[in-house]
Structure 1
Amino acid sequence: MPRLSDVIAELDALWPPERAEQWDAVGTVAGYPDAEVSRVLFAVDPVQEIVDEAVRLGADLLVTHHPLYLRGTTTVAAGHFKGRVVHDLIKNDIALHVAHTNADTADPGVSDALAGALDLRVVRPLVPDDSDPSGRRGLGRVCELDHPLTLRDFAEHAAKRLPATAQGIRVAGNPDALVRTVAVSGGSGDSLFDAVRATGADAFLTADLRHHPVSEATQGSPLGLVDAAHWATEWPWCELAAAQLDEISDRHGWDLRVHVSKTVTDPWTAHAASTTTAGAPN
């Protein structure tokens, strides 16, 4: 069996930590470098439900997309849920490794996995990484559909292909407009509207879209917006990353058992459609 340090070296080659944004917190959070690893679990969020799943599974390593302590901390006391996560990881000899913005811009990365889940053909990065001479790394992806769809039909296609969440899929723009090219970005994407418009894409699928940026982006513009749940747009990366580690394991003869959590950790748990018209009493 490989040591944790061996596995982490391969993960760092896939998603070099130096390519993470300066504000990010990536890398190994817990774990002994010399500990043996036989079972690995991939998930989006390092929350208690995922740690409990890792314990039940007998995992030696948990790899998540989101950091546990993005803004740092001065304590890991178990009186807070993040402290309990740390305690449970250590108590059960489970290492935690994070690949966040360094996985977002990788080739392949988070948005490649999102495009693959939607059966989209990737053309190029939405925001290219200037340090990549091949032009393949970067944030988001510009994609093409094999056959044009209306914005409504594309949103329904996304709803069928992405994991189900309470939010579902929201659409802004003309539902009957034809969509041939789509920009995608896993996670929060409303800071990328200028880059999306510059590509001439017909639609942009991302998450966490807010009222004012959406209102401004659709005024006088044919751009269609498709807003999925943050967790749902990033979960496909877990399957991609697991497949990458499986290939590495086979190459080295490690015989790792690699799993992907299907636990929905999107924080929204229910959705109620409004039936009241504007200005009318309930």
Structure 2
Amino acid sequence: MNIDDFRADFRKQLAALYEPEEVENLCFLTLEHVLKMNRVEISLSRKQNIHPSQRKELEEITARLSKSEPIQYITGSSSFYGLDFKVNPATLIPRPETEELVAWIIDDVAQGLLKGEAQDTLRLLDIGTGSGCIAITLAKNINKATVEAVDISQNALATAYQNAKANGVKVDFYNQNILETQALDEVYNVIVSNPPYVREQEKAMMRANVLSNEPDSALFVSDQDPLIFYRKIGELASKSLAPAGALYFEINEYLGKETVALLKNIGFTDVVLRKDMFGKNRMIKACMA
């Protein structure tokens, strides 16, 4: 079997599960992982024969993909903001829209919007860090930043710690249930969170590979109180943000207006709702003045 033969078989096996463009992307990701070649090298080596041991690994991955297992969990890694992150079923797979949230923060820092004149460094807190992708990316891209991150899952924190080490940054990780937290210990220039926000009623709209593999505790909230995390984090942030600081959220696209109203009710006076690359209400920045 050569590379072209594998690609043809791969398309046939997964055509019923994924759109053609996604099948093509999954095929390249699978080949890159097993053959240790990039896409250009693969495209230039279409008639290259595949070693039997590599063929077996390719077939095993294809079988797992046919059962809707995410490619990121199969390979154990995911790309985010140009960095590589270990991921596993204890962590969410980083999304492109979350990269936009991180870019917003990095841009605000570059413009000097988040710290007073007397401050030498920024203190940042990521709540519900998961793989650590937000905290680590901020630490990597913001000079002289002190970055902390919390999560309720010890397994997620273990993965986040490995990711920080692999990406050469220092992040202080803490095991913490934010819903049971009475007050934050420090004053922060930036508090950011991508908390659980998918309502139970929205499960029917989600793909099987997400429902069957990614952690429920990082995804879902009850239909009765879908803004529970935003309310709690907003209340904590209102007492722990530096004067020029800001709170950033990734949000449920269907609850943008409700989330803005909640934050204003808490006391945030400058609340900005922003759309993502797909035109969905997906991000909020909130300041006290």
Pair in the same fold by TM > 0.5? no
Query: Larger relative contact order (C-alpha < 8 A, sep ≥ 6)?
Result: 1
The TM-score normalised by the length of structure 1 is 0.31
Higher helix share: 2
Max Rg structure:
2
